Structure 1
Amino acid sequence: MIAYILKRLSIGIATLIVASIVVFSVLEIVPGDPAQLMLGMNATEDALAALREQMGLNQPLVMRYLDWAGGLLRGDFGQSFTYSSPVIDLIAERAAVSLPLAVIALVMSTAIAIPVGLFAASRRGKAGDAVAMGAAQFGVAVPNFWFALILIYVFAVWLRLVPAGGFPGWEAGLWAGVKALLLPAIALALPQAAILARVTRSALLEVLGEDYIRTARAKGMPRRSVLWRHALRNAMIPVLTILGLQFAFLLAGTIIIENVFYLPGLGRLVFQAITQRDLIVVEGVVMLLVASVIIVNVIVDLCYALVDPRLRTR
């Protein structure tokens, strides 16, 4: 087990190093002078020289990368030119919105998808299976921003149960913050639940055909116990894979939803930084999101070993 954990951690660290090189290189391959790109064509030479000094553009390439990577390890992501604030402070402020939103959406998605997948797999070829998978196919096909607009019209405009957008801040109270995130979380969760339900059904159908499942049924074990105690656990590896990918998507890919609901999250921060040509912010946020995806994938790999003991010996 220890060897398995060390192997996965080493792969994650190596991937993170390669990703940092790629993210840093993006700034270097931007045509022209990065300082000129950020300040515009009308910038003075003094302003350009000051920004080049701030970004370390007057140093060799290798030294710039080492300084930047070392700063990341120390929690120093640089200084935002647009906001005149440390990038790490901007990320912490926006992550307080994006992270809870991703967690709520993932919990909703899982709570919907696994029971639906179990229901469909246990009724393969019957009307219940067709209805469940038809609804899942609809959820996959429809964009989440369409769900978002429908939810705003029904629950915010018509019923007036929740706000249509914006975020009051956690200082306004836990319920006020959660209430503002409910509609965006549902809009994000429904398409992801549809994907996860289909994967759960497929994995369960494969497991239900195994000999040990037939043996358990032959011994008179209740159908519910066979599904939950034996079939679901052995079908969890592909489900965990999709869960890991979905959390990474929910954390890093919420630009459209955050703009629809006017939420001050990481996705909106990246969008604003790109439009304002604040490359330091873009670089820092993208690196943080890449690191979060790698960390989630390492955690999923470790969960594989908990679900399937055979992997612990590899």
Structure 2
Amino acid sequence: MLRYALKRLASLAVSLLVASLVIFLVVEVAPGDPASYMLGINAQPETVAALRTELGLDVPKYQRYLDWVTGMATGDFGTSYTYRAPVSQMISDRLWVSLPLALYALTLSTLIAFPAGIYAAARRGRLGDMGVMAATQLGVAVPNFWFAMLLVLLFAINLRWFSAGGFPGWDDPLQGIKALTLPAIALALPQAAILARVMRSSLLDILGEDFIRTARAKGLSRRQALWRHGLRNALIPVLTIIGLQFSFLLAGAIIIEQVFFLPGLGRLIFQSITQRDLIVVESVVMLLVFAVIVVNFAVDLAYAAVDPRLRTRS
């Protein structure tokens, strides 16, 4: 297991290095100059040059890349061009919105998808299976931002059970969770539909294996064979989807955060792109890539825990 984990760690380090280079190059080649954007089209060239020097934009790009990477390694993400505040502090303030939102949505997605997928697999071809599959097809087809607006219309405007947007902070945890409930539901339901379909498909594949038929021949019912032998062996593709979903929920909630006016990482990226705040865009995107890679690393370890054969092959 240790050898397996070390090999995955080495792969993680290489992936982070390549990702940092790609992010820096993509952001740097984008058209527009932050200094010119901040000063406006009528700014004098001398003023623009002075601001570029102040922001550190006049040094060679390779030096800026090295400074950025070494700074991130020590926890220094640089200073925002627009807000003149440490990027690390800006990320920290907004991470306490985006991370709980992603975890909340992932929890809801898993709690919905696992019973639905297992129920559909246990009743393959019956009315219950067809009902679950129809519901998941609808969940996949409906855009989450449209569903979010329906939630606001019903629960915030008509019933007044939740606020239509904003975040009160974590001074009162119940109010914070309440403010994230509608966004979490809007994010969770499409992901739950995908996860339920994967869970059903994986279980049906496992239930057709020889070891399941052997268990049935020894006297186990279909339900007993499913719970004792099928479920664990069906978890590998499901774990993959859960890992990908967490990464998506953390990094891909930009539209939902705009709909609900949540001060999260997604909204920070959107604002930084419009303001040409390159250092914020690079740092936040790199942090999200780091989260994706770490989650994939955790999923790999979970694979090894679920299926010991993976450890012996590595």
Q: TM-score range by the shorter chain?
A: over 0.9
Pair 119,19 (structure 1): closer, same or farther in 2 beyond 3 Å: same
Amino acid at match of 2:181: L
Gaps of 5+ in 1: none
Conserved in 2, the CA contact under 8 Å of 1:38 and 1:278? no
Aligned to 2:2: 2
Cα displacement (A) at 1:133: 0.4
Aligned to 1:270: 269
Aligned to 2:194: 195
Q: Distance in 2 between matches of 1:243 and 1:51?
A: 45
1:109 corresponds to 2:99: no
Cα displacement (A) at 1:193: 0.2
Cα displacement (A) at 1:74: 1.1
Q: Distance in 1 between matches of 2:281 and 2:23?
A: 10
Pair 229,55 (structure 1): closer, same or farther in 2 beyond 3 Å: farther
Amino acid at match of 1:303: A
Conserved in 2, the CA contact under 8 Å of 1:165 and 1:180? yes
Amino acid at match of 2:166: G
Aligned to 1:27: 27
TM-score (norm 1): 0.95
How does 1:1-314 map onto structure 2 within 5 Å?
A: 1-31=1-31, 33-45=33-45, 47-171=47-171, 173-313=172-312, 314=314
Cα displacement (A) at 1:34: 4.7
Which deviates more, 280-289 or 219-228?
219-228
Pair 48,221 (structure 1): closer, same or farther in 2 beyond 3 Å: same
Q: Distance in 2 between matches of 1:118 and 1:155?
A: 30
CA shift digits 1:211-252 (9 cap, x unpaired): 111122222234443222311110111101111110000000
Percent sequence identity is 65
Cα displacement (A) at 1:43: 3.3
Pair 54,13 (structure 1): closer, same or farther in 2 beyond 3 Å: farther
Cα displacement (A) at 1:270: 0.7
Amino acid at match of 1:159: L
Conserved in 1, the CA contact under 8 Å of 2:122 and 2:223? no
Amino acid at match of 1:280: I
Cα displacement (A) at 1:56: 3.2
Amino acid at match of 2:152: I
Q: Distance in 1 between matches of 2:115 and 2:50?
A: 58
Q: Distance in 2 between matches of 1:15 and 1:164?
A: 40
Which deviates more, 258-267 or 77-86?
77-86
Gaps of 5+ in 2: none
Cα displacement (A) at 1:161: 1.3
Q: Distance in 1 between matches of 2:265 and 2:96?
A: 9
Q: Distance in 1 between matches of 2:57 and 2:276?
A: 17
Q: Distance in 2 between matches of 1:177 and 1:191?
A: 23
Conserved in 2, the CA contact under 8 Å of 1:216 and 1:226? yes
The CA RMSD over aligned residues, in Å, is 1.6
Pair 148,290 (structure 1): closer, same or farther in 2 beyond 3 Å: same
Q: Distance in 2 between matches of 1:132 and 1:8?
A: 37
Amino acid at match of 2:162: V
Cα displacement (A) at 1:38: 4.8
CA shift digits 1:165-224 (9 cap, x unpaired): 1100112x0000000000000000000000000011111110000111112222223444
Conserved in 2, the CA contact under 8 Å of 1:38 and 1:279? no
CA shift digits 1:52-97 (9 cap, x unpaired): 3344333333322111100011111111122221111111111100
Q: Distance in 2 between matches of 1:228 and 1:51?
A: 65
